[in-house]
Structure 1
């Protein structure tokens, strides 16, 4: 008699999924990233179970942002978790007062400790042990100190293997910055043969029939960041976003798109970043102040150990100003410069450099009287009215608009504060706002 489970129609792996699982056998770092309902978790669990089956070490770790999340996404996983993959030869229990799954494998009994990693002090709960392998589901939702402790706790493994699955975050999120970006760079140089990365989307999930998928996806705005993040699995912010009216087709333009545009005024906003980025944004205003266009920019991010002097920055910014004056014939007769109000020394250095080169543009302190929220509101209104454009080559500026979010902790206190944690180039927003804000009344918003 056939069991109910035997009647369930299981979808086969596609080539990408099968290749990822095969590579995991020899890889030390396995990362499945991508959109929602892409099958990342199940694919990774199957790969992880295969490695557990033959691993020589006894103690292992499975984690999530919380203990409950770890159990739901890795131990159960809607019938595809470890307790089902090892059905008939595993049992739940405790190991030194920690939740655990005991598994009988070809190489002996394995003890898989289950833990939550969303809080800073969660790292302390996995200390004292050395783990052979680790699986973390939704790894970039876990606390940075916990993930770093996981790397350290597997250093003595007989065969170190880490498995992570994650939905995308903004591209400058610490997990990319501190872990994946470095591995990607080594991979490009051909120096890392133990890094197994794959990007999955719902289109890889063969358990969803094509007609149903097509019908479901027709309900999404293909140009929205929501679609970019959740469906295409791109690294962008989709929750808590500030510029909710932004769409790439509606804002990002090429020279071909604006070849017939004329400009009645130019404005340069400059933000001095100290140990962060220094940014200058060239903005053009079309007749009757109909459209605002971010035409070009200067971006330099210096390190904490070394940086440019005010004189060096002044020279580089003026180099760009000379370039812009050659590109736009009317530039010098109708250009304004609004520089960081808190840095008087830079403004003086810039004024001196302009004077030395015979360029007569006054350097004015950036206008901040009405506050950052008013500047944000102005940009939002212009975007929503279809009057705010950004040239396609300004990658940092586009990244900043796409990923700008409200600080959730401050929002819960009743304050509207833009997130400024290094997860995206927020200095580009400050710089462009300095260029636009002085013209608020003329823009009639």
Structure 2
């Protein structure tokens, strides 16, 4: 087996003091194959019996790491292991001199993936395509290794958007000096040499985005992303400034698609109005695998509203005035009806249906431009909140909500983004126009 210098450095890296190692870089740069070789050595030496390999879904975890085109764990340990299944799930069972080991492989891309590992303990966790995993799953996986005799996590990913929320989970390891980052490029794969590398570079040069991501391995906002001007450093804030003017809610609903509701605050500070998105209720039937009735969504939104005025008010140290509006997408009539039954008055969200058609034939472009302007001008902020009602889903959508080759917004990854547009529409037409 021919290994590049980068692959050798990865496989034989001394691990003293390292609890999380991130291999990040371009596609086909040799990360995964060397990661499988690396983890095989770690499993052999580890004093812990159980370990986890996680990808977006279980099939990918098996294909990428157990098989890995003939270089994966199932092939490395073919003489001393076999594929088995027990009450905790499918795994590779190993009979090693250091004892029996079980390498479980599971999917971690959906919100309900957490249930697959709750209650289990692992010595190590390997995160494949780290940026595609659900943040809650990652957090739970970290908790599952706290009792390990040798605690270690290996993550790999292609370059994500710079503001990807999963990157926040790495901070605990960075701040405690237990983190190692390794950058990968096509040159680090020994299979790619000479003319093949030249051809690849030429292909990537047709697009600045492709060149930066697939050749240089840099973190860039995906090509065509609509809210590319969003900057977590500038548009997220821990402290609210100014005099409170009003609060309101916006909501969008679906059963398979996501149902989302946001709490908004308007303030006035030094001659300028500001808009804060304080908190967010979000549930996707497609992502979670759990389809809820609109009556259930309405009850959970009512609970979310109560939480905003109880716990969030105390946390932000602000006595919020009673909300003036609960704007709901006009197309979501069933959600409005269920909210009315619970005593919550609603109004039709300003979804740009009455605005003039833009040059590309879409009225929502008016709202999109308003959000872009609010972000650029620094009058729109997300309140930096951790927990159940944070802005994880909106930030994730912002990194994926994009245009197609014709320049039209793709109707995907935009549920929280639509509700964001409703809030900014009201703010703009009420305070800025």
TM-score scaled by length of structure 2: 0.58
Displacement of 1:348 in angstroms is 8.4
Change (3 A) 1:343 1:58: closer
Displacement of 1:34 in angstroms is 0.9
Q: Which residue of 2 aligns with 1:138?
A: 129
**In 1, Cα distance between the equivalents of 2:22 and 2:64?**
16
Displacement of 1:68 in angstroms is 0.2
Q: Which residue of 1 aligns with 2:106?
A: 115
**In 2, Cα distance between the equivalents of 1:171 and 1:30?**
18
Displacement of 1:226 in angstroms is 2.1
- Contact kept? 1:406, 1:418, Cα under 8 Å: no
Q: Secondary structure at the match of 1:23?
A: coil
RMSD after superposition: 4.2
Of the three residues 145, 148, 159, the one matched with 1:154 is 145
Gaps of 5+ in 1: 1-9, 247-270, 279-298, 312-341, 352-367, 381-389, 391-401, 439-445
Q: Which residue of 2 aligns with 1:302?
A: 237
- Contact kept? 1:90, 1:104, Cα under 8 Å: yes
Q: Which residue of 1 aligns with 2:190?
A: 206
Change (3 A) 1:345 1:113: closer
- Contact kept? 2:24, 2:183, Cα under 8 Å: yes
- Contact kept? 1:404, 1:419, Cα under 8 Å: no
Change (3 A) 1:277 1:32: closer
Q: Which residue of 2 aligns with 1:233?
A: 217
Change (3 A) 1:92 1:301: closer
Note if 1:406 corresponds to 2:402. yes
Change (3 A) 1:350 1:150: closer
Displacement of 1:129 in angstroms is 1.4
Displacement of 1:56 in angstroms is 0.6
In the TM superposition, what are the counterparts of 1:149-298 in structure 2 within 5 Å? 149-176=140-167, 178-184=168-174, 186=175, 191-192=176-177, 194-221=178-205, 223-238=207-222, 241-242=225-226
- Contact kept? 1:61, 1:115, Cα under 8 Å: yes
**In 1, Cα distance between the equivalents of 2:235 and 2:204?**
37
Change (3 A) 1:18 1:417: closer
Of the three residues 365, 381, 406, the one matched with 1:373 is 365
Of the three residues 2, 7, 13, the one matched with 1:11 is 2
In the TM superposition, what are the counterparts of 1:413-428 in structure 2 within 5 Å? 415=411
- Contact kept? 1:57, 1:158, Cα under 8 Å: yes
Q: Secondary structure at the match of 1:346?
A: strand
Displacement of 1:158 in angstroms is 0.7
- Contact kept? 1:407, 1:418, Cα under 8 Å: no
- Contact kept? 2:222, 2:400, Cα under 8 Å: no
Note if 1:124 corresponds to 2:115. yes
**In 2, Cα distance between the equivalents of 1:378 and 1:49?**
52
Note if 1:349 corresponds to 2:271. yes
Change (3 A) 1:181 1:223: farther
Tell which structure's C-alpha radius of gyration is larger. 1
**In 2, Cα distance between the equivalents of 1:155 and 1:30?**
16
Describe the superposition over 1:312-368 as per-residue Cα deviations: whole angstroms up to 9, x where unpaired: xxxxxxxxxxxxxxxxxxxxxxxxxxxxxx9986388249xxxxxxxxxxxxxxxx8
Q: Secondary structure at the match of 2:79?
A: coil
Displacement of 1:59 in angstroms is 1.2
Q: Which residue of 1 aligns with 2:28?
A: 37
Change (3 A) 1:277 1:207: closer
Describe the superposition over 1:69-128 as per-residue Cα deviations: whole angstroms up to 9, x where unpaired: 000001001011101121211100112251110112231111111211111111111122
TM-score scaled by length of structure 1: 0.56
Change (3 A) 1:173 1:88: same
Describe the superposition over 1:177-218 as per-residue Cα deviations: whole angstroms up to 9, x where unpaired: x2234544x2xxxx41x3222011112112211222102321
- Contact kept? 1:310, 1:349, Cα under 8 Å: no
**In 2, Cα distance between the equivalents of 1:308 and 1:379?**
20
**In 1, Cα distance between the equivalents of 2:102 and 2:192?**
35
Q: Secondary structure at the match of 1:219?
A: helix
In the TM superposition, what are the counterparts of 1:315-394 in structure 2 within 5 Å? 346=268, 349-350=271-272, 369-370=355-356, 373-374=365-366
Gaps of 5+ in 2: 245-263, 274-351, 357-362, 377-397
**In 2, Cα distance between the equivalents of 1:113 and 1:39?**
23
Change (3 A) 1:129 1:418: closer
**In 1, Cα distance between the equivalents of 2:205 and 2:44?**
44
Note if 1:23 corresponds to 2:13. yes
Change (3 A) 1:375 1:161: same
